[in-house]
A and B are shown apart, each in its own frame.
Chain A
Amino acid sequence: NAGVTQTPKFRVLKTGQSMTLLCAQDMNHEYMYWYRQDPGMGLRLIHYSVGEGTTAKGEVPDGYNVSRLKKQNFLLGLESAAPSQTSVYFCASSYSTRGYGYTFGSGTRLTVV
């Protein structure tokens, strides 16, 4: 009963490098989300998906891309990492029915040097 699993848990990138963060959920949730968490700013929505094959921009989408080729997976890509993308990234998923809230993964701590 894994819930939401994020990989990797930690990563250090050099400026300009690219990487993909993987989120997998086993709850058959329709909706999936990527948030970033920075000190004193709460969690801010990067991108989200309301179903397989769909993606949409959130509050802070610049510098990120996403894909949802399979219902259970939601990938977050950084094409050219910048120090401003140093953050903790959280994936979450939810049912499409009325607000039961999200189930979050345990996060990926990314440092861009």
Chain B
Amino acid sequence: GQQLNQSPQSMFIQEGEDVSMNCTSSSIFNTWLWYKQDPGEGPVLLIALYKAGELTSNGRLTAQFGITRKDSFLNISASIPSDVGIYFCAGQLIQGAQKLVFGQGTRLTINP
């Protein structure tokens, strides 16, 4: 089946540092999404990308939809303690049931 490779699996950074994570796939997707999961909660949508090459920001977060439609990256600038959590990328096909395929997640830990 389809798989997404997300890296890195974990990051340990100092508060104020910038963060970058990415996702690659062997399949083409129509939509790329980035989610954040806090402990004990379900994933929450951060950014959705709909066109190849699209660059979208949400506050300190910036994500891009790769030109080949097989990859995406997420950057977080000037990290703060509340950025701690697990970040997931997801690829979505618009046809049919719009199933999401998730990456393995990037666990972000921030040292104050």
User: A residues bordering B, Cβ < 8 Å?
Assistant: 4, 31, 33, 35, 40-45, 48, 50, 56, 58-59, 90, 92, 94, 96, 98-107
Known: A33-B99, A33-B100, A42-B4. 13 other contacts (CB 8 A): A31-B97, A40-B104, A41-B104, A42-B6, A44-B102, A48-B97, A56-B97, A90-B42, A98-B31, A99-B33, A99-B92, A100-B48, A104-B42
**Total number of A-B contacts with CB less than 8 angstroms?**
70
Cα–Cα distance between A34 and B104 once the two chains are bound (Å)? 17
With contact pairs A42-B88, A99-B33, A99-B92 given, residues A104 and B44 touching in the complex (Cβ less than 8 Å): yes
Instruction: Say yes or no: B41 contacts A106, CB within 8 Å.
Output: yes
Chain B interface extent, by class: 20 to 34
Q: For A105, what are the chain B residues with a Cβ–Cβ distance below 8 Å?
A: 42
Cα–Cα distance between A44 and B88 once the two chains are bound (Å)? 12
